[in-house]
Amino acid sequence: MSNRFSDILFQLIQTLEKSEKRHFKLYIKRSSAKEDLKIVQLFDALDKMKDYDEHLLLKKLKEITKPQLANLKNHLYKEVLASLRLLKTTENVDLQLSEQLDNARLLYNKGLKHQSLRILERAKELAKANQKYNFLVQALSLEKKIETLHITRSSVEKTEVMTQEASWISEHINRVTRLSNLALLLYRWYVINGHARNETDEFAIREYFKKQIPNDVHEVKVFYEKLYLYQCYCWYAFIRQDFLMYYRYSKKWIDLFDEEPQMISVETGHYVKGMHNLLNAHFDLRNFNRFQKDLSKFEKFANTPIALQHDNFRSHTSIYIIAAKINQHLMQGTFKVGASLIPAFETVLQENALYIDRHRILVFNYKFASLHFGNENFNESIDYLQKIINGPLDLRVDLQSYARLLHLMAHYELGNYDILESLIKSVYRFMAKMKNLTVVEQEMFKFIRNSFGVSPKLLKPELEKFLTKIKHLEKNRFETRAFAYLDIISWVESKVYNKPMSEIIYNKYLQSKRSHQ
């Protein structure tokens, strides 16, 4: 995958739709000189390539030398972007506002001050309607410049309104900046570390949050301030494994868009991410009915013009729906169905490879491994876990640890006792080093080590003891990670009651559904 998308121009061309390619051809033939039409040849050559290969490219373009190629690629990159801007301006509020601001600047530079002010007034109305207050800073800056340097005969009232507006926007942007910074830093902490591992992590996150959250959050009233405030609390709760708080603020996040539906088209990316978090919250709390309801809502949204308008939204919506469907199979115990869908899921992921980050790939590999483990396809589970174990260690220390533990459990299920002793030592050392050992894992290691060569008759009482030890830890916040990543209780129960793990989890799912009806 790294070789396939190693060139930025190639990446850009590979994302173009048929209509965008057609528009580019018309645009370039209309606006370029004959000698510039070499870039069309370069465009066609790159468009037909499956993987970027510069040597093959130069063989196809015999009139172009290697030194010329770099300049030609730069020129083509700029022209493709210019063509896209021309085509997509009407589809995007930010592009429309940028174009209007550019036009106002051009008119002002031509000395047409009143025309410039009229455009700025229209642009400000559009910005206010879509809550684009960052843009208003630039528009007001130019407006104040014109009013300060020239006699425009504007009323005193307009001048006062302008200054008051500028002061309010300054306070708003300051609040949004502080909240969005905190949301970003908390999310970054999670991507690197995962959930809080112990009371030390819990204390550090709580103190950091209290220190960084703005004192004036009670003044939060407008869309973007609320959006970033809810995101802050979402990540804060998720890191601390306070899944009820995580659910509440994920719901507030989506309710915000339901209250102001026009903002879904303005901030589609935030809406998509919010739906992903809400579905994750349902999964963590086992809210089966609400999960299905919101998944149906998300799937319906995936087929709307808004979701399909841009590759970024389309791809991420597809990816998050796949993640939700996997979670649905994991919490219902329908591992066989889930495992059978993995090839289709992988095809979609491969088609969207350009848009998927390493963190997402890491999570999917673990989810696929979990489906195979639940379906008793232990060798296939090991194959996916090896991708995590043999990969870099710079992301999700918690997931790295549980991948190794699930890998150990898969070998235990396969009866590979000759390597279990060394695996136990290796996994134990890794988890201890990463400070990921909880009581549940330590009991797990003890059980596996003590069960070597034990007859089935003697093993069952040991399993029952193990189940008793870990069952009371299910509600302990710092032990819940083990149950969220590995349903160890259901695994042990399957051994005690001599039933497939899928049947144990499915019966729990049916029982929970009946109790909520």
52 belongs to a structural domain? yes
| Cα first-last separation, the chain | 47
Does residue 146 share a domain with residue 100? yes
Pick from 137, 153, 169: which residue ends a domain? 153
Residue (of 362, 436, 367) closest to 394 by Cα position: 362
| pLDDT per residue as tens, the chain (517 positions) | 344 556 888 988 888 888 889 888 888 877 665 545 788 888 988 888 888 888 888 888 888 888 888 888 898 999 999 888 888 877 778 888 888 999 999 988 888 888 888 998 898 888 888 888 888 888 888 888 887 776 565 556 677 777 887 888 888 888 889 999 999 999 888 888 778 877 888 888 999 999 988 887 777 888 999 999 999 999 999 999 899 999 999 999 999 999 999 999 989 999 999 999 999 999 988 898 899 999 999 999 999 999 988 888 899 999 999 999 999 999 899 999 999 999 999 999 888 887 888 888 999 999 999 999 999 999 999 999 999 999 887 778 778 888 998 998 899 889 888 888 888 888 888 878 776 667 777 777 777 777 766 666 667 777 777 777 777 766 666 556 566 677 888 888 888 888 999 999 999 888 877 665 5
301 belongs to a structural domain? no
481/240 Cα distance (integer angstroms): 10
pTM as predicted = 0.78
Does residue 85 share a domain with residue 97? no
Residue 481 tokens, joined: 């990670």
Rounded to 5 degrees, what are φ and ψ at 220? -65, 120
63 belongs to a structural domain? yes
Residue-level pLDDT at 2: 42
Q: How many CB atoms lie within 10 A of CB 190?
A: 18
- The residue assigned the tokens 């001599």 is 498
Q: What is the DSSP string of 340-392?
A: HHHHHHHHHHHHTGGG--HHHHHHHHHHHHHHHHHTT-HHHHHHHHHHHHTS-
Rounded to 5 degrees, what are φ and ψ at 165? -60, -45
Does residue 375 share a domain with residue 446? yes
246/313 Cα distance (integer angstroms): 24
Does residue 365 share a domain with residue 488? yes
13 belongs to a structural domain? yes
Residue 405 tokens, joined: 């533990």
Domain count, the chain: 3
CATH number at residue 419: 1.25.40
Distances (CA, A) of 117 to 131, 159, 167, 284: 20, 13, 20, 53
Torsion of CA 19, 20, 25, 30, to 10 degrees: 100
Handedness of CA 260, 261, 266, 267 (dihedral sign): positive
| CA-angle at 51, arms to 50 and 56, nearest 5° | 100
Residue (of 415, 333, 412, 421) closest to 371 by Cα position: 333
Does residue 450 share a domain with residue 355? yes
Does residue 86 share a domain with residue 96? no
440 belongs to a structural domain? yes
Does residue 108 share a domain with residue 53? no
- The residue assigned the tokens 């209309």 is 30
Pick from 67, 90, 113: which residue ends a domain? 90
Q: How many CB atoms lie within 10 A of CB 392?
A: 9
* Helix 288-302 and helix 311-332, axial crossing angle in degrees, nearest 10: 160
Q: What is the DSSP string of 38-95?
A: HHHHHHHHHHH-SS--HHHHHHH-TT--HHHHHHHHHHHHHHHHHHHHHHHGGG-HHH
255 belongs to a structural domain? no
286 belongs to a structural domain? no
- The answer for residues whose C-beta is within 8 angstroms of residue 108's C-beta and 6 or more apart is 116, 142, 146
251 belongs to a structural domain? no
Q: pLDDT tens across 86-122, in order? A: 888 777 788 888 889 999 999 888 888 888 889 988 9
Does residue 15 share a domain with residue 148? no
Residue-level pLDDT at 312: 84
Distances (CA, A) of 508 to 51, 460, 476: 47, 22, 20
Handedness of CA 193, 197, 198, 202 (dihedral sign): positive
327/284 Cα distance (integer angstroms): 9
In three-state secondary structure terms, 214 is: coil
Distances (CA, A) of 431 to 167, 191, 384, 426, 492: 52, 18, 19, 9, 21
Does residue 420 share a domain with residue 515? yes
Burial code of 363-389, b = ≥16 C-beta within 10 A, e = fewer? bbbbbbbbbbbbbbbbebbbebbebbb
Q: What is the DSSP letter of 35?
A: G
Does residue 141 share a domain with residue 16? no
Amino acid at 122: R
Does residue 127 share a domain with residue 19? no
Domain range for residue 65? 8-90
C-beta contacts of 122-129 below 8 A and 24+ residues apart: 123/97, 126/93, 126/96, 126/97, 126/100, 127/97, 129/262
Which secondary structure element, helix H or strand E, spans residue 251, and what is its range?
Answer: helix 243-259
Does residue 100 share a domain with residue 24? no
Distances (CA, A) of 445 to 390, 425, 439: 22, 9, 10
Pick from 90, 110, 125: which residue ends a domain? 90
- The answer for residues whose C-beta is within 8 angstroms of residue 481's C-beta and 6 or more apart is 194, 195, 197, 241, 398, 402, 438
